[in-house]
Amino acid sequence: MAKEHGIFSLDGCMARCRLCPQCNFVSFSSLQNDCSWYNDCRQPLQLEHGGLSFETVPVTLSEQALAAWRVGGLHSGAKLPRTRTIAIVLHGMIGSLEYGASVESPFEHPRDRRGNFTLRAKKIQASPALQRQQSLSREALVHFTHRMIRLQLIEPNERTGCRVLLFMHSWNPPLGRLLDSKFKPAWSAHEPPVTTLDRVASQHLSMKRALLAVTAASLRAKDPIDGIFVSRYDTLFYQEVLFSAFDSSAVLWLGQWCIENYMPKRFNETAPLREACGCGRNNEMCDQHGPGMAQNIGSGQVMGPYYARRMLGKDLDNVPVAAAYDTIVGDLWFFTHELSIAMNFTSIYDDHEAMANRVVKRMRTINWSHFYWAELIATLVQRGVTVAFSEVMQDRDFYIARYFGQARLCEVALPRRLRAQLSLTIAEQANRTRPELFGRTGREWMRAQCPSRFRTVHSVMCPYYAPACGPQVLRETIRMHDWHQQASEASKQGQLQLARPG
């Protein structure tokens, strides 16, 4: 049974297949709750036992073997990822592995009384030692994220026959040569930051510059660009993301996003959650420090819809409860099948003052892209654009690179026996996630940002080192820390090479 093993999509089924050297094909059916693996797949495919509800794809075949399999023909229930052209758009100012780009910007924008950044920029004079440290850390981030994007986005999709083109814009001219040499983009530009813009407007102007380049390339190309994946530079992907998972059932795809809604304080409620993570009462491994992590009690975490007031604290004390739920979406990446939809995001720069007034009206203070994206996407939904949240989930599948030390969480199904011990927790969770919190101005679609299995406490999140996560998650986390160390060393070596005479 696929879902009982944490497999909820064709993408997840294929990811599990790659862990087995003998697995070359998978057949996945959400309707049948089945993920089947095969070493060989003969034509014609069998249609018994609900075969038409299955999607059958090759996973690990060589190009020659894949070509031979194609010759056998396909029935209507089996699909091969067709050769598509996908544009990956990376944009914005690059921060470091320690701080975000806005913190390390050489310019400061003071806040006004509403909490918004003003247009009066003041240059920050950092000491030479601090400038060098920041430079090294930014270069380390380039090495680190390049490895992630190459291994988790570009190569997996190229193996499916997808053509991937990279378009890059940054506000970091000193990093331009390093970025271009590592990523080898189809187009790039690295400009000095526009000091009259706040961070949200700056980010979306950068996005606009890159998307205009995609538009120009699309007009010149013989084959159309079939999809656009837009991401910040500092998005860290823990596992492969296949663009074939973003199917035509929606025009715009976003990542799932939940927040830790409840961690019990009383032991009689904590115990079943610890047991779900495989920690029990006295498992020392669960209570130790993980690599680069703060102390974690090893308890399972009950997750719920992202709650802006909880994340931002006193800044939003006066914001209505409903507004705190239906005004925030994840802002690290999106995928769309239509270039025109991607260009809509650039209106956050083009019409920044008007959009800022709408955000401030709802949220009172905060100037973050999370809220601008929510406003924009709500408008698109009203126009009839279909929006969906993919199975790619923040904290479990991706996160922000500078928080790599907090590592990933894993999803664990909560057995019925343990759910029975959490009746109070489940009742409180139901009150926190009631549908009417998302009913304002047609924003019910935002409720799906956190999957229903978390809202009903059928699934919980566990820290990566919990036994229930398994050795694969632990290995991947340790590998991330190894890559971080290698990225830091690579940036130092690069500086040394530049310092050598001749």
Q: What is the CATH number of the domain that holds 37?
A: 3.50.4.10
Alpha helices (runs of H) in 184-281, residue ranges in sequence order: 199-220, 267-276
Query: Which pLDDT value is given to residue 155?
Result: 94
Q: Are residues 7 and 95 in the same domain?
A: no
**CB pairs under 8 A, 24+ apart, for 481-490?**
481/291, 481/292, 481/404, 481/405, 483/144, 483/147, 483/148, 484/97, 484/140, 484/144, 484/404, 486/143, 487/97, 487/140, 487/141, 487/143, 487/144, 487/147, 488/97, 488/136, 488/140, 490/139, 490/140, 490/143
CA atoms within 13 A on the CB side of 214: 32
Whether 139 and 243 share a structural domain: yes
CB 193 within 8 A of CB 304: no
Q: Give CA–CA dist 45/75, Å, rounded.
A: 7
Residues 55 and 101 in one domain: no
In a domain, 280, yes or no: no
Distance between CA atoms of residues 372 and 360, nearest Å:
10
Q: What is the mean pLDDT of residues 129-158?
A: 82
- The verdict on 207 and 149 lying in the same domain is yes
Which residue range is the domain that position 31 belongs to? 3-71
pLDDT digits (tens, 9 = 90+) for 463-500: 888 888 888 888 877 777 777 777 767 666 654 443 33
Between these two residues, 432 and 165, which has the higher pLDDT value?
Answer: 165
Same domain, 150 and 241: yes
Q: Clarify whether residues 56 and 106 are in a common domain.
A: no
Q: What is the CATH number of the domain that holds 155?
A: 3.90.550.10
* Other CB atoms within 10 Å distance of the CB of residue 225: 21
Which range among 28-32, 299-303, 322-326, 469-473 shows the weakest confidence by mean pLDDT? Answer: 322-326
- The token duo for 392 is 């790619």
Q: What is the pLDDT averaged over residues 416-429?
A: 83
For residues 192 and 316, membership in a common domain is answered with yes
Q: How many domains does the chain have?
A: 2
φ/ψ region of 50 (left if φ > 0, alpha if ψ in -120 to 50, else beta) reads: left
* 278-282, long-range: CB < 8 A, 24+ apart: 278/462, 278/466, 278/467, 278/468, 279/466, 279/467
Residues 156, 103 share a domain:
yes
In-domain check, residue 192: yes
Q: Is residue 253 part of a domain?
A: yes
For residue 269, being part of any structural domain is answered with no
One-letter amino acid at 334 equals F
How would you classify the pairing of strands 459-463 and 409-413?
A: antiparallel
Round the average pLDDT of the chain to a whole number and report it: 76
Burial class, 108, CB count within 10 angstroms (exposed 0-12 / middle 13-18 / buried 19+) = middle
pLDDT tens per residue, range 173-223: 999 999 999 999 999 999 999 888 888 999 999 999 999 999 998 888 766
For residue 289, being part of any structural domain is answered with no
pLDDT for residue 50: 47
Does a structural domain hold residue 209? yes
Location of structure tokens 């929606």: 250
Mean pLDDT of 11-37: 79
Closest C-alpha to 66, from 32, 24, 21, 108 = 24
Kindly state whether residues 421 and 443 are assigned to the same domain: yes
Q: What is the per-residue pLDDT across 34-82, written as a single tens digit (0 to 9) for each?
A: 888 888 776 555 544 445 567 777 776 555 555 554 444 433 344 444 4
- 436 and 319 share one domain: yes
Cis-peptide into 44, omega within 30 deg: yes
In a domain, 470, yes or no: no
Evaluate the CA torsion angle 347, 349, 352, 356 in order and state its sign: positive
Q: Please give the pLDDT value at position 45.
A: 54
134 shares its domain with 51: no
Query: Quick one: pLDDT band at residue 84, thresholds 50, 70, 90?
Result: confident
In a domain, 313, yes or no: yes
Residues 161 and 193 in one domain: yes
